[in-house]
Amino acid sequence: MTSCKSLGECGGCDYIGRPYEYQLGLKQSYINRLLEGICPVDNIVGCEEPYYYRNKVHAAYKRIRSRVICGTYSKGSHRIVEHGRCYIENRKAQEIIESIRDIAEKHKMSIYDERSNSGLLRRVLVRVSEATGQIMVVLVTGNKYFTGKRDFIADIISRHPEITTVLTSYNSRHDSMILGRKAVTEYGKGYIEDVILGKTFRISAESFLQVNSHQTDRLYSAVIELAAVGAEDNVLDCYCGIGTITLTMAPLCGHATGVEINPSAVADAKANARINRIKNVSFICRDATEFMLEAAGKGRGRRPSEGNDPIVSARELSEEEAERNKVPPVDVHYDLVIMDPPRAGSTSSFIRSVAKLAPEKVVYVSCNPETLVRDLKMFASHGYEAVRAIPVDMFPWTENIEVVSLLQRMSNTSKKTITFDVDMDIGK
């Protein structure tokens, strides 16, 4: 990477000035060391396009004397770093963010000030789909009343007619959350669409999606490879988000169920099933651990009904309807559980519940190798052995890495306890 002028200030990248192959070597060694004695590790899946890969970009705005600046917060602080050109953020998104700064100057717009908790323009979020060319802009404000909103947005669209939707989000909180509680559509459909492994997905402002579109195909291909599902298998996808993995697996199995706590993401997941004309799926709006505890308490993979059970938002299907729609009847054994938890990892309650449901396989997608190791250790104590791991470099130039692991259920006679020491330093 060409030297970045924000080196040492931004803190977003860890490997500026290092060859990309060198980074991959460090990450490979780190995961090998981390999972030594636990399971074999494949060669890391590198990124063919390691520059400008972030499809989701956000910036904070601030007025310094007579000038408006925009950029990212320096790591661990609320000091805005004007980096101008970022080598990992989508170039079009950067261009739009800088244009909005200039338009704010033109309109003499008040800029949010954290100390006084006053001002209008606070942040901007841009999401870009390279596959469809669609672009979303979210204007995050520190005030409910957006004076001159119509003219301001019209100027943005005039400057960038490639933008397909604009939303506003009022955020009065003093935490790290970018968006407020609700995003309001001001222009366009209120969402964009992207393509993953040939399927189209609707993405709302609040929805989670992997930030590296090119590597997402490779990440989910690794999930498919390790899952190796059969045509009659029943799959449970926990922490499913907008249903990307659920809907990727559905054409390969008998039925796929996605569980997600975010109502907006579940709404997108259901819409994505309709967009892709996939019928052998269902989505449940519930905390993953709560759902697993409920399911484990009812039996091996029981699919609960709406009437007496709050887990499922859709009514229970009869066996005849289930056959017609390729949805399994209520009492069903899950052959595979897929889990893609947040950085904090899963919970001991969730893992115990998985063991009680007794699927033959578990595929664990982790964005934090440290919590992955902890969770693999818990799985081992409950009869599941990690047999293979595939590291995928989703975040070039940073220390972050995703790992997809396959766990298989052991017989009672072969259960074992794994103990190991972990060196969490990836190195530089």
- The catalytic residues are 367
Between the CA atoms of 414, 360, 381 and 45, what dihedral angle is there, to the nearest 10 degrees?
110
Contact 304, 236 (CB under 8 A): no
- Residue 218 CA to residue 399 CA, distance in Å, equals 19
Query: Distances in Å between the alpha carbon of 58 and those of 140, 256, 364?
Result: 10, 33, 29
Three-state DSSP at 27 gives: helix
- DSSP symbol at 414: G
- Burial code of 140-163, b = ≥16 C-beta within 10 A, e = fewer? bbbbeebeeeeebbebbeeebeeb
Cβ-proximal residues to 345 (8 Å cutoff; 6+ apart), any chain: 366, 368, 371, 372, 374, 375
Burial of 342 from C-beta contacts in 10 A (0-12 / 13-18 / 19+): exposed
- Residue 123 CA to residue 179 CA, distance in Å, equals 9
- Residue 300 CA to residue 331 CA, distance in Å, equals 8
The upper half-sphere exposure of residue 128, i.e. CA atoms within 13 Å in the direction of its Cβ, equals: 21
Q: Render 245-272 in DSSP notation, one character per residue.
A: HHHHHGGGSSEEEEEES-HHHHHHHHHH
Q: Render 268-296 in DSSP notation, one character per residue.
A: HHHHHHHHTT--SEEEEES-HHHHHHHHH
- Residue 124 CA to residue 101 CA, distance in Å, equals 10
Size (the chain), residues? 428
